[in-house]
Amino acid sequence: MDNSYRKYIEAQAKIFKALGHPARLLMVDALRSGEKCVCELQSLTGLDMSTVSKHLSLLREAGVVSSEKRGTSIYYRIALCCLDSFLACSSEMIKCRVLQECSMIQNCP
């Protein structure tokens, strides 16, 4: 495996690692409906502000979210354009498994 391909795979792994924590996934799922300020995400997760900030920093470094400071508040939004369809697809697969209503995910692009 050449070095550029290895870096590509490592960058992809960084995205999946960033999404691999329940609190971060909860925040990302909330951002699917639109941007939110840090205080909204803190309220949603019930975590202290410093922990939420660390999670958001990791998501930002991986390129999953972007942020914008407005006055004293920081607002986050999803930066990874394909994330919504990925989360919808994985959600459908989980729903099928839990409900045991289907054996295969259909209509995946």
Question: What is the domain-level CATH number for residue 15?
Answer: 1.10.10.10
Q: Structurally, how many domains does the chain consist of?
A: 1
Q: Is 23 a domain residue? A: yes
Q: Is 45 a domain residue? A: yes
| % residues pLDDT > 90 (the chain) | 78
Q: What is the pLDDT of residue 109?
A: 47
Q: What is the pLDDT of residue 98?
A: 80
Q: Is 10 a domain residue? A: yes
Q: Is 56 a domain residue? A: yes
Q: Where are the beta strands (DSSP E) in 41-90?
A: 65-70, 73-78
Q: Is 43 a domain residue? A: yes
> Average pLDDT in the 82-96 region?
90
* Alpha-carbon span 34 to 39, nearest angstrom: 14
Could you read off the pLDDT of 25-60 as tens digits, one per residue?
Answer: 999 999 999 999 999 999 999 999 999 999 999 999
Q: Is 98 a domain residue? A: no
Q: Is 69 a domain residue? A: yes
Q: Is 42 a domain residue? A: yes
Domain that holds residue 43: 3-80
Q: What is the reported pTM?
A: 0.83
